[in-house]
Amino acid sequence: MRVGFIGLGVQGLPLALNLLTAGHELFGFDVSAEPLTALRQAGGNTVDAAGELGGLCEVIFICVAKDQQVLDVVTGDQGVISQARPGLVLVNHSTVSADTTASLIAATTAAGLRFADAPVSGGARGAQEKTMSFMVGADDDVMMVCEPLFRASGSAILRTGGPGTATVGKLAHQVTIIGNILAMAEGMRLGVAAGLEPQIVKQIITGGLARSFIAETWGEIKMAPHALPIYAKDLENSLELAREVGVDLAGARLMRQELQNIVP
């Protein structure tokens, strides 16, 4: 297929390269020159504006950091919609608010496009090792088109329902994972302050009911500089959704307060 990819960052670039390796004709866009060069060197094509992809591709993936970036590359003056042909499938891998996803659904539907929110979990390592997990909110026809493309980067593909539902699932996931980080940070802090070696505390936690991926990889996976603002954004979006649906997330409010202290 002719596939477009917007956002060639630490996670987006390996996801795009996986599609290229799977045999698809790939066109990429990013605001930075370095990943565009890397994509061309791997045999992919690049464009100068996101809108160009709308006239070239059958499916376009978006993997950027912020809500406004997603809106800009879709609905902006040089966004995908500006040149898109009816029937194009637009897939958003970015973790955004429920309101942003609703805006994307409305804009793409009005333009005659098809949309899926498909946030991912696994990070750069998962993308490189092709072990990503996909949460997908999509109609039947879109799911049929996209599932083989998702399998280029991982086999854990969970359809959550129609468009918009995967965004809700990803926000629930982010609240849970950040809470897991908080628990691990405080458990480690207590054990080490009381005289245990960090490795001993880690072995105790991973050997008991508290074991988790976060615990097992504690100290091995280093958080990139961009992790804190991304987690902060995810918590804000989760708390906003909680207010809209009338749920009190006291733990998430604490995570927001303690975020600077809990990310290793």
Catalytic residue set: 170
* Rounded CA Rg of the chain: 19
DSSP 115-142: EEE--EESHHHHHHHT--EEEEE--HHH
Beta carbons within 8 Å of 58's beta carbon, 6+ residues apart = 1, 2, 3, 88, 89, 145
Q: Which helix (H) or strand (E) holds 159?
A: strand 156-161
Given the structure tokens 């988790």, which residue do they identify?
212
Q: Which residues contact 124 (CB under 8 A, 6 or more apart)?
A: 10, 11, 14, 224
CA-angle at 116, arms to 112 and 118, nearest 5°: 160
Strand, coil or helix: what is 41?
Answer: helix
- Measured from the Cβ of residue 225, the count of other Cβ atoms closer than 10 Å reads 6
